[in-house]
Amino acid sequence: MTTTLTARAVLLDMDGTLVDSTAVVERLWWEWAAPHGLDRDTVLHVVHGRQGHQSMAILLPERDRAVNLVENAQMLARESVEVDGVVEIPGAAALLRALSGLPHAIVTSADIALMTARMTAAGLEIPELRITAESVSKSKPDPEGFLLAASTLGIDPSECIVFEDSGAGIQAGLAAGMTVIGVGRLAPDHAPTHHVDDLTQIAIAASGDGIVVQIS
């Protein structure tokens, strides 16, 4: 069965949605967490979709924020060079090609350097509008990033479709008043509006001043 949606803009998360960086992310976070005696499953549940310093604040709530910011910067620097194994999510390149010339943006908790490194490693075209960690004051699950993208594009949030994989990202998209398509096997746990296993199930077409998104 095919589901057909209409929108005026498409907003795309990166990690877990366009690129598969799971192995790198989990390895670096486990290296960070082990000296603190933190449970592996708890750490991996928290970190996906959030800016690193916010994840650290959740996991170590008594620690000084300045320390989190320093360690987050160090981790981002490592992530930006350790890109072996970073690949596209199936269908990501075709989706980005289909969106060329249509209103869309990347909305990621990564900074600009990390976003560029991972998208390049995966061989993906980077959208012209890039909402990164430097663009916002609050991380997902706060909707600030998605709302900023919609505002920059001049499109009402209700006319945007978000592609997201993580709980924090899905919450952010829904809080922004947007339709959210969850990507990946874990996305349904977070109650997105719709769900796909990967982006090969998505077809994009222009229609007048809008975008038609088909889910197969």
**pLDDT class of 1 with cuts at 50, 70, 90:** confident
Catalytic residue among 13, 111, 142, 165: 13
Q: pTM of the entire structure?
A: 0.86
What is the reported pLDDT for 26? 83
pLDDT at 146: 98
Decide if domain 3-21+85-215 falls under CATH 3.40.50.2300.
no
pLDDT at 25 over 90: no
- Give the residue, 176 or 1, on which the prediction is more confident: 176
Element (H, E) at 213: strand 210-215
How high is the pLDDT of residue 8? 98
**Least confidently predicted of 23-27, 72-76, 90-94, 212-216:** 23-27
For the chain, what's the residue count? 216
188: preceding bond cis by omega (within 30 degrees) = no
Is 13 marked active-site? yes
pLDDT digits (tens, 9 = 90+) for 31-68: 898 999 998 888 888 887 788 898 999 999 999 999 99
- Report pLDDT digits (tens) over 73-102: 998 888 888 888 899 999 999 999 999 999
Of the candidate ranges 6-15, 22-31, 138-147, 186-195, the one whose mean pLDDT is the lowest: 22-31
Catalytic, out of 15, 20, 142, 165: 15
Q: Can you tell me the distance from the alpha carbon of 194 to that of 80, in angstroms, rounded to the nearest whole number?
A: 31
For the segment 114-157, what is each residue's pLDDT rounded down to a tens digit?
A: 999 999 999 999 999 999 999 999 999 999 999 999 999 999 99
Query: Residue holding tokens 């209103």?
Result: 103
pLDDT range class, residue 30, cuts 50, 70, 90: confident
| Domain extent listing, the chain | 3-21+85-215, 22-81
- Distance between CA atoms of 120 and 125, rounded to whole angstroms? 8
- 40's tokens: 């592996």
Cα distance between residue 128 and residue 160, in whole Å: 17
